[in-house]
Amino acid sequence: MNNIVTRFAPSPTGYLHIGGLRTALFNYLYARANGGKFLLRIEDTDLARNSIDAKDAILQAFNWVGMDYDGEVVYQSQRFALYAKYVERLLKEGKAYYCYMQKEELEANRKEAEAKGKVWHYDRRYRDFIGTPPEGVKPVVRIKAPLEGEVYFKDGIKGEMRICAKELDDFIIARSDGVPTYNFVVAIDDALMGITDVIRGDDHLSNTPKQIVVYEALGFPVPRFFHVPMILNPEGKKLSKRDGAMSVMEYKALGYLPQALLNFLVRLGWSHGDTEIFSMREMLELFNPNNLNSAPSSYNAEKLLWLNAHYLNALNAESINAILPFYGASVPSVVVQEVLYPEIKERSKTLVEFVEILKKCLNPVESFDKKMLQKVKTDENIHFFNAFIVYLNTLKKPFQSAQDVEVEIATFADFHGLKAKNLFMPLRYALLGSSGGVGISSLIAALGINETKERILKALESLRYAKSIGNETDSK
């Protein structure tokens, strides 16, 4: 099946969202798995609504998720002269015609049909017109849709589709200003680009009969179609931005990994047994559009987080270091990477969370949690901090691991007749300023002896000040 050619054809009137990325992924997998071609076309004929930023974001999203495409990007806005030639061809062959019906007439006819409870259709009054054209009217060009029979195609997901000819209009293929219409240019481009299979959302299902009319009028082969049901929210309604229908690059900003997002999207409409986790290699081996679901998929934010945590936990230090600058973090020392990364990965579901924990560990404590202060502001802890600083000063070599720290804390506790587990809360207060976070032994190993002493000294100041304020209050 190495003759398969698929495409993704977004419109740059808005940023690429996850529904679009899912469509691109399905097309990409089908082409790549069968040694075919995957092409990218930007459908930017709507010159008034096009956004350069949105166009750039589409390419950025492809680069971020690692989906390559064959050849150069095709821009429809650069092909108007080509489309005009095909309009002229259809006019010369009598398969299209100029329509001089004005908007006011069309609107009046539409309202009249609605008043009678009928579905409005253009009445084809200029289909075989041979008279003198009305003066001062710029005509549109309409294609001659079949008047009898049916338009038939077999959809890979929906099954056999039959549309009666009487349901079709002689739809416009070129507006009065010469700009070609969507269904016309899509059919031409798909044919000229050699597209064999079109996988797209089922919101395009109603466009397919019109495009088939264009294919057949121009003598082009009709591709195979797969119309994928839309992604719905958990309540079964159209996905909104609040539900997750945001731009692909927003997912990057929120700390999601591309491999997690692709894994999540491939499962929205496709499955292979009960398997949930798929690498790109596995997707390429297993994906087949004939196995796409015919029912809509439901967006599950918790599942995406679960997948992201899985892939984040699998990242090595080198991969994490390459990502950190995007989230405003510097690459830490090798010791920090070796000691803290494993612990932080276990506590993070997104890269944003990873960076927040990393910064909390490495940045000096700005303030101390007031509730925690009330628990640790004892004379015993003040004595413990002083003694622990003295003990750290006696150490001859730096910590190499969390295990080294655990041994030293145990030794210190034994010498002073303390329970080691009772020391971790005051140490957490001193080193992080609040509860939660990574293991204290790992944190001390990452910070080193000097930084640990500095943080304990600062914590000592907060305890002494709290004690002094408390004593003043008591004396009053």
- Residues annotated as catalytic are 241
CB 97 within 8 A of CB 142: yes
In this structure, what are the phi and psi dihedrals at residue 470, rounded to the nearest 5 degrees?
A: -65, -40
CB 184 within 8 A of CB 214: yes
Cβ partners under 8 Å of residue 251, min gap 6: 18, 261
CB 239 within 8 A of CB 19: yes
- Dmax over CA atoms of the chain, in Å, equals 110
What is the Cα–Cα distance from 443 to 459, expressed in whole angstroms? 16
What is the Cα–Cα distance from 212 to 287, expressed in whole angstroms? 27
DSSP string for 156-205: TTTEEEEEEGGG----EEE-TTSPBPHHHHHHHHHHHTT--EEEEEGGGG
Angle at 262 between CA 356 and CA 21, to 5 degrees: 110
Known binding residue 241? Answer is yes
What is the Cα–Cα distance from 277 to 311, expressed in whole angstroms? 10
In this structure, what are the phi and psi dihedrals at residue 104, rounded to the nearest 5 degrees?
A: -65, -40
- If you compute the radius of gyration of the chain from its CA atoms, what whole number of angstroms results? 33
What is the Cα–Cα distance from 142 to 10, expressed in whole angstroms? 25
Cβ partners under 8 Å of residue 263, min gap 6: 277, 278, 283, 307, 311
327 Cα distance to chain centroid: 17
8 Cα distance to chain centroid: 15
Neighbours of 3 (CB within 10 A): 10
CB 264 within 8 A of CB 303: yes
98 Cα distance to chain centroid: 43
- Give the three-class secondary structure for 229: coil
Burial of 144 (0-12, 13-18, 19+ CB in 10 A): middle
Annotated binding site for ATP: 241
